[in-house]
Structure 1
């Protein structure tokens, strides 16, 4: 494959997290000059050896006020963004700024994956199983409906980004997920939001483990596929992945085809993770959501050899065809600090799992936590022997925050 040398540069907007760091490392390893943009001097991606230039993001300025000038100055050929907030802002800008391709989803498609009700509707249209869901409305007789549900249930916002400012203005904390075990418990939790004028979505709780299928979509088809399972989460009752493991591409082929059909039906372009709960005993998959962006466990995919950022870049910028021979290696990846917080949480309260699940074993969890340090297949979200400075930057940032 003949490629220009040097390769055109790329801007990565949002290098403050392990996700942005992974994108910087991945593109840099393939020889792409990377301009990283972060909100803090402690941005981990800005410390990477693969970040050729770090730009501190201007505070209190909209993207449209400064981003086009930076693109013109750097002559970047592509812009990749990490956070949902930035994806929403970029969706209001053209998909090309000068000669730079803005490799982010457009608003119509983004609205579908950010709204869980729209996502569930699209999933059912292609034959994907979804949990029983109820969106309470202001003025609706909540008590009557609450008695008809199967418990426990989970409360989550249908469109989280749309609620952040409203919750903050009302003095309410954003909860990624809440659990209710009885009708009275559900009504008590819903009552907190009555003055807000909006209620979270209520879904039946489903068992199984967290299972994700990741795809890079282009022109209605997947150019790259990857899948993994969550081994541990923080909070321990359900949250971000702190330890995850690859799942062989030979497994779950039928469900992968459904995931691809779902994204194709939406008209999705770019990276996305279709997230499920999978019950191994019954073989059932329950759709949880679509992450229409680079996801939290991206370090696992990259370390295993499924290079989603590079795949997106080389297709959009270099116009190269998909490589059907891509195969990924068995790996595990750990988000060390949240994984440590999880263990502390369990040691304090083994019953934290909730939702009718059995309590954790303190000794078993502590032993598994320590044993993972000795697993040769386990990599880390931030630490890398080949690129150690981001961890030092992360620790420095944590210490500075504690000092403040």
Structure 2
């Protein structure tokens, strides 16, 4: 029997309650790693990552400030792991800061703190993209709530209001971390409401067009080790939300823009650049950078780019040939969200009869791969179906 590439490697991950945390457990475990995951105790709802058969050890904190408890655990136990693999941005910053202060023993591969802060802040990212000559939606920032009414008359509609950061624990659910507004009155009320949650959200022009992504992995020497592109086919909610169905594509222009942006930040580790393609201007516009695992990660793996494995190998300084080519035309969905997306489209007056029939048949398409359900790892699915 062939030895698996991460056989015997001890890995610590975070965020078992999120699907991206489950991806870390599942893909690293399949590669042979002994995966431990640290997360908050939840008596009412067991984190899905804790239910994966690929998890060796679950580590539950006792409530309170999780980041302080993570820091304490890292100080005491980092020597027990070959690889420290934080998933969420706040945990990445915790690892970087703790290592700077206490010199952790486990290896990791993350962006430097300055780059991570820019990537996680839509205001700073828009400025940086503009400075390096890349397209970004017109952005308005640091607007006082009492001044928003004056600005509202100058904008085109719809416009979009976004939180500057990605601190989802204190914000809305992923599909609600922004608000699309179609009138000056709605802009004023939504901006003031969001300002109460996080001060000074940004306002951007709304880009009409399809969604695309550029995924990349850079090693410690900032050398490109893997890349991938995808196009969103459907999302849920359909007015703007996470991808429910997506497809692998290869576009040299998309690759060049994404690579230029990430390289300009002197990047190390994983990054996913999200784009919208403006149909009128025939140009890609940068929407955001996810400096962490992303929701559509399983599509890259199914297409031949196993980012979790490659990321771990780069962190451990295991050499391999860069993975820059992959299978195009692979389509993947998340069945729960995609059924809701298809149903929403079929109920919409904007969807014609032919399109509705096409969507109906899409439900039964056996060639579309599934991103969440894994028949070799049914625990997370059963928890989702039977939460109690």
Question: Under TM normalisation by the shorter chain, which class is it?
Answer: 0.7 to 0.9
Contact 1:305 1:329 in 2 (8 A): no
Residue 45 of structure 1 corresponds to 49
Report deviation, 1:361: 4.9
Residue 373 of structure 2 corresponds to 383
Residue 122 of structure 2 corresponds to 116
Report deviation, 1:13: 1.2
Report deviation, 1:265: 1.4
Matches of residues 121-270 of structure 1 in structure 2 within 5 Å? 121-138=127-144, 141-161=147-167, 165=170, 175-192=176-193, 198-218=199-219, 219-248=221-250, 251=251, 253-270=252-269
Whole-angstrom distance in 2 between the partners of 1:22 and 1:120: 29
Matches of residues 48-127 of structure 1 in structure 2 within 5 Å? 48-60=52-64, 61=66, 62=68, 63-72=70-79, 75-94=80-99, 98-127=104-133
305-314 or 359-368, which deviates more:
359-368
Query: TM-score normalised to the size of structure 2?
Result: 0.85
Report deviation, 1:131: 1.0
Query: What do you get for the CA RMSD once the two structures are aligned?
Result: 3.2
Residue 22 of structure 2 corresponds to 21
Contact 2:175 2:242 in 1 (8 A): no
Change (3 A) 1:336 1:6: closer
Whole-angstrom distance in 1 between the partners of 2:38 and 2:379: 17
Report deviation, 1:239: 0.9
Change (3 A) 1:381 1:16: farther
What SS does structure 2 have at the residue aligned with 1:151?
A: coil
What SS does structure 2 have at the residue aligned with 1:101?
A: coil
Whole-angstrom distance in 1 between the partners of 2:84 and 2:359: 40
Given candidates 357, 361, 365, the residue that maps to 1:374 is: 365
Report deviation, 1:132: 1.1
Contact 1:42 1:396 in 2 (8 A): no
- Residues 328-385 of structure 1, C-alpha deviations (whole Å, 9 max, x = no match): 454222122222333454566x26xxxxxxx345884575255244232x22222123
Report deviation, 1:310: 1.0
Contact 1:210 1:275 in 2 (8 A): yes
The unaligned stretches of length 5 or more in structure 1 are 352-358
Whole-angstrom distance in 2 between the partners of 1:5 and 1:259: 29
Whole-angstrom distance in 1 between the partners of 2:6 and 2:222: 30
What SS does structure 2 have at the residue aligned with 1:333?
A: strand
Whole-angstrom distance in 1 between the partners of 2:249 and 2:128: 25
Report deviation, 1:187: 2.5
Query: TM-score normalised to the size of structure 1?
Result: 0.82
What SS does structure 2 have at the residue aligned with 1:92?
A: helix
Residue 355 of structure 1 corresponds to none
Contact 2:74 2:104 in 1 (8 A): no
Contact 1:276 1:288 in 2 (8 A): yes
Whole-angstrom distance in 2 between the partners of 1:296 and 1:97: 31
What SS does structure 2 have at the residue aligned with 1:192?
A: helix
Residue 287 of structure 1 corresponds to 286
Change (3 A) 1:12 1:112: same
Report deviation, 1:258: 2.3
The unaligned stretches of length 5 or more in structure 2 are none
Change (3 A) 1:310 1:369: farther
What SS does structure 2 have at the residue aligned with 1:231?
A: strand
Report deviation, 1:238: 0.4
Change (3 A) 1:369 1:300: farther
What SS does structure 1 have at the residue aligned with 2:203?
A: strand
295-304 or 4-13, which deviates more:
4-13
Report deviation, 1:138: 1.8
197-206 or 120-129, which deviates more:
197-206
Contact 2:12 2:83 in 1 (8 A): yes
Change (3 A) 1:198 1:51: closer
